[in-house]
Amino acid sequence: MSARAHILAKLTASHDQPGWPAPVALKTNPPRTINAADQLAQLKTMMAAAHTEIHEVSSENWPEKVAELTQAKNLNNLLIAPKTALGKQLQAQWPVDGVTLKYDLHHSGGKEELFFSVDAALTSCRSAIAETGSLVLWPSPAEPRLMSLVPPVHFVLLDAHNIYPSLTEVMQAENWAAAMPSNALLISGPSKTADIQQTLAYGAHGPKELVLLIMV
């Protein structure tokens, strides 16, 4: 008998034993009623507490802000996703020359460049969760998953209209269960660890800095 058949046979033989509580339907919590302004405030509080740098921007001026921050942080380059809407807007409005890189892992040396030469990347995010201060990212062919992970600085652009009170609500509103991507992510700050004597240190393996630009 295969391991599969054997395991399932053992479980099935005992799974209807008397005495085990019958499956129950879980009561769902009523939707929370925090208003949009409170959600934004909550998100900012939670994310700041998790060491995220936050800037409020507008849908017009954010490329300027990214350029300003790139210079202020002495970043040599910035990886962008050229085919996305934000990639296009950034390229159209980028005020300085020579600092943007376009993501192409297929081109030879692309991965090496990503690991050892890229200073920062800019990605979009799908939505955000006020309760825990989390950003929801669904990497895509145009905006691959390593962009938000490998470079030491991660810039994220969030539209304030896409903030939800909780994970439950964002999953319901966006109907996640219907079609999950190959990789969905919640990001709630820069990479960190407290594995050495419970001392918190940032930049363990992922980005050392998370910079959130909120379009309000």
Partner 1 sequence: MKTEILHNFTSRSRAATADEAQRGKFRSAMDFLIAKRAAQFPDPTEWAELRESGQQIRQRALAYLPKLLVQFEQKAQQNGMTVHWAETPLEANQIIHGILQRQQVRTLIKGKSMVSEEIELNQYLQAHSIQALESDMGEFIVQMADEKPSHIIMPAIHKSKQEIAALFAAEIDDTPYTEDVDELIQIGRQALRQQFFNADAGLSGVNFAIAETGTLCLVENEGNGRLSTSCPRVHIAITGIEKMLENLADLPTLLTLLTRSATGQPITTYVNLISGPRRADEQDGPEEVHIVLLDNGRSQAYADVQLRQTLQCIRCGACMNHCPVYTRIGGHAYGTTYPGPIGSIISPHLLGLAETRDLPSASTLCGACGDVCPVKIPIPELLLRLRVENVTRAGTKDHPAVMRGQGAKYRLSEKLAWQAWSLLNTTPALYLASRRSAAGLRHLIPSVKAWTQARVMPKIAPQSLHELIKAHQEQKS
| Closest to 214 (Cα-Cα) out of 78, 4, 92, 43 | 43
Q: DSSP assignment of 89-106, as one string?
A: HHHHH--SSS-EEE--TT
- Smallest separation (angstroms) from partner 1 to the CB of 170: 9
- Smallest separation (angstroms) from partner 1 to the CB of 99: 22
Is 64 or 202 the residue whose CB approaches partner 1 more closely? Answer: 202
- Smallest separation (angstroms) from partner 1 to the CB of 160: 20
- Smallest separation (angstroms) from partner 1 to the CB of 64: 29
Is 100 or 131 the residue whose CB approaches partner 1 more closely? Answer: 131
Is 63 or 165 the residue whose CB approaches partner 1 more closely? Answer: 165
Determine the longest span between alpha carbons in the chain, in angstroms: 72
Is 100 or 134 the residue whose CB approaches partner 1 more closely? Answer: 134
Question: Alpha-carbon distance 209 to 191, whole Å?
Answer: 8
| Closest to 102 (Cα-Cα) out of 91, 115, 92 | 91
